[in-house]
C-alpha cells in the first residue's frame, strides 16, 4: 500500500515553516562549525537547557531510532551523520538511541556522528533485549527475533557493545528498555549501579515502566529519567507517571512527541501506509482512528496559527510547557524537519492558554490510544 499525502496546506504546515518567521528561522548568526563547515543561520539561543534529575541536557533532544529503518528503509548513513551534526550546531546536545534499533545501526550512526564531541554531548542508549544477532528487515527493527532479556550478564554484554559502537568510554544515560517479567527491577538497578561504579555508565533510566516499578528501582539506585510515550495524542502517562517523577525528582523524556508525525498535519483521515511503514500496525493510524482523531489535529492547527508556529512546533511547545523537567526527543531522518522541530523550544504558552487548551482536549474523544492499564501494570 502507498501513503496518500495531503497537498496544498501541507507545504505551509511543515515544509515551508521557515516562512513563518519564528523558532529557529528567526535566528542568530551561526558560529563556525566545529566540524569545519559553516552551518546555515539558525538560532541556538532559544534552545535552552533542562535538568533530568542532575543530568543537564538541551531542552529538546534528537531521537535516532528511525535512522535505522522503522517507518522506512534504513537511511543513508552519511546523510544521518550530517543530520546529527547539524542538530548539534543548532544547540542539540541530547541524542537518544538503543542497541535494538537496527539492531545496532542507530548506535553506529550516532557513534560516528558524535565521536569528535565526546564530553560536549549527552548520549542515551538502552538495553533489555536478546536475540539481536541478525539485523532486522526494514520496518521490523524492533520485532525480528528479539526477546526481553535484562539479566545482569546481558546488561554487561549490551553495555560493552554500546560503548564500542558509540565510541565512548562512558554512556551518559542508560535505560532499561522495557520491564523483564523474569528479572526483578531491583536486580536490574543493582547491575546498572555496578556499571556506574565501574565508570561505564553515568546515569540510570527506565523506559515504559509503571509507578510501582519506578519506585522499586529508585530505592536501589536513583533513577535519573523515565522515557515513555507522551504527546497531545497519547497522554496515558498523565497523571500517575508524571506525578511519580515529580515526587522522586526524576526527569521525563517523551518519545513519540509528535505522535509518529500525526501532530505535524502530514496525514488526514484518508491516509494509508506502505507495508514497510510501522504505522501500519499502530492502532491510532487505522482509517477509523484517523477519522475520529481529526478534531485533535484541528485544535493543534488552530493553536499553531494563533501562536504563529507550525503544528509540530506547537505540539512540542505544549509538551515543554507541562513541566520544566520534560525533554522531548522528536525523531526524523529529514534535516528540514529537524530544524523545524527545534523551533518548538521557542514556543511560549501562558497558564491561561494551557488551561484553555486542556479544556478543549477534555472534549475530544480519542481512538487508538493506550489504556491506563498499559502503564500502570507492575512487573
Asked whether 43 and 347 are in contact (CB, 8 A), the reply is no
Closest alpha carbon to 176 in 161, 197, 190:
190
**Helix, strand, coil shares of the chain as percentages rounded to 5?**
40, 15, 45
* 363, three cell numbers: 472534549
Burial of 19-50, coded b for 16+ CB within 10 Å and e otherwise, reads: ebebbbbebeeeeeeeeeeebeebbbebbeeb
**3-class state of residue 323 by DSSP:** coil
Radius of gyration of the chain from its Cα atoms, rounded to whole angstroms: 20
Torsion angles phi and psi, residue 235, rounded to 5: -115, 30
Rounded CA-CA distance 194/292 in Å is 48
Q: Please report, in angstroms and rounded to a whole number, the separation of the first and last CA atoms in the chain.
A: 38
Rounded CA-CA distance 359/361 in Å is 5
Asked whether 110 and 118 are in contact (CB, 8 A), the reply is no
* 371, three cell numbers: 489504556
Rounded CA-CA distance 330/328 in Å is 6
Torsion angles phi and psi, residue 120, rounded to 5: -110, -5
- Which pairing describes strands 55-58 and 122-127: parallel, antiparallel, or unpaired? unpaired
- Concerning whether 88 is annotated as a catalytic residue, the answer is no
Catalytic residue among 71, 88, 101, 230: 101
The continuous run of DSSP H or E covering 319 comes out as: helix 311-322
Task: Give 153: exposed, middle or buried? Use CB within 10 Å, 0-12, 13-18, 19+.
Answer: exposed
* 13, three cell numbers: 504546515
Catalytic residues: 101
Amino acid at each position: 500500500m502507498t501513503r496518500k499525502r495531503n497537498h496544498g496546506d501541507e507545504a505551509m504546515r511543515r515544509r515551508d515553516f521557515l516562512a513563518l518567521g519564528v523558532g529557529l528561522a528567526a535566528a542568530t548568526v551561526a558560529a563556525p562549525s566545529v566540524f569545519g563547515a559553516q552551518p546555515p543561520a539558525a538560532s541556538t539561543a532559544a534552545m535552552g537547557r533542562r535538568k533530568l534529575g542532575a543530568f543537564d541536557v538541551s531542552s529538546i533532544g534528537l531521537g535516532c531510532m528511525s535512522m535505522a529503518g522503522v517507518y522506512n528503509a534504513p537511511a543513508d548513513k552519511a546523510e544521518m551523520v550530517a543530520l546529527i551534526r547539524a542538530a548539534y550546531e543548532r544547540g542539540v546536545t541530547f541524542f537518544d538511541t538503543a542497541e535494538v534499533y537496527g539492531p545496532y545501526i542507530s548506535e553506529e550512526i550516532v557513534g560516528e556522528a558524535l565521536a569528535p564531541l565526546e564530553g560536549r554531548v549527552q548520549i542515551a542508549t538502552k538495553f533489555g533485549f536478546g536475540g539481536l544477532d541478525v539485523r532486522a528487515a526494514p520496518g521490523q527493527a524492533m520485532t525480528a527475533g528479539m526477546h526481553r532479556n535484562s539479566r545482569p550478564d546481558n546488561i554487561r554484554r549490551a553495555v560493552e557493545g554500546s560503548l564500542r559502537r558509540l565510541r565512548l568510554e562512558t554512556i551518559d544515560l542508560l535505560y532499561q528498555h522495557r520491564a523483564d517479567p523474569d528479572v526483578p527491577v531491583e536486580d536490574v538497578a543493582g547491575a546498572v549501579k555496578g556499571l556506574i561504579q565501574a565508570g561505564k555508565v553515568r546515569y540510570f533510566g527506565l523506559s515504559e515502566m509503571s509507578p510501582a516499578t519506578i519506585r522499586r528501582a529508585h530505592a536501589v539506585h536513583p533513577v535519573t529519567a523515565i522515557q515513555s510515550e507522551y504527546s497531545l495524542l497519547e497522554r496515558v502517562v498523565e497523571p500517575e507517571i508524571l506525578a511519580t517523577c515529580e515526587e522522586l525528582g526524576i526527569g521525563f523524556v517523551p518519545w513519540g512527541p509528535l505522535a509518529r508525525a500525526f501532530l505535524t498535519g502530514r496525514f488526514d483521515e484518508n491516509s494509508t501506509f506502505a507495508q514497510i511503514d510501522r504505522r501500519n500496525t499502530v492502532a491510532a493510524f487505522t482509517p477509523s482512528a484517523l477519522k475520529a482523531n481529526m478534531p485533535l489535529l484541528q485544535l493543534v492547527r488552530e493553536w499553531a496559527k494563533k501562536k504563529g508556529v507550525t503544528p509540530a512546533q506547537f505540539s512540542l511547545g505544549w509538551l515543554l510547557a507541562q513541566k520544566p523537567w520534560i525533554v522531548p526527543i522528536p525523531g526524523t531522518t529529514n534535516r528540514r524537519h529537524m530544524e523545524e522541530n527545534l523551533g518548538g523550544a521557542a514556543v511560549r504558552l501562558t497558564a491561561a492558554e494551557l488551561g484553555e487548551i486542556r479544556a478543549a482536549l477534555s472534549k475530544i474523544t480519542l481512538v487508538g490510544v493506550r489504556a491506563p492499564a498499559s502503564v500502570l501494570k507492575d512487573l
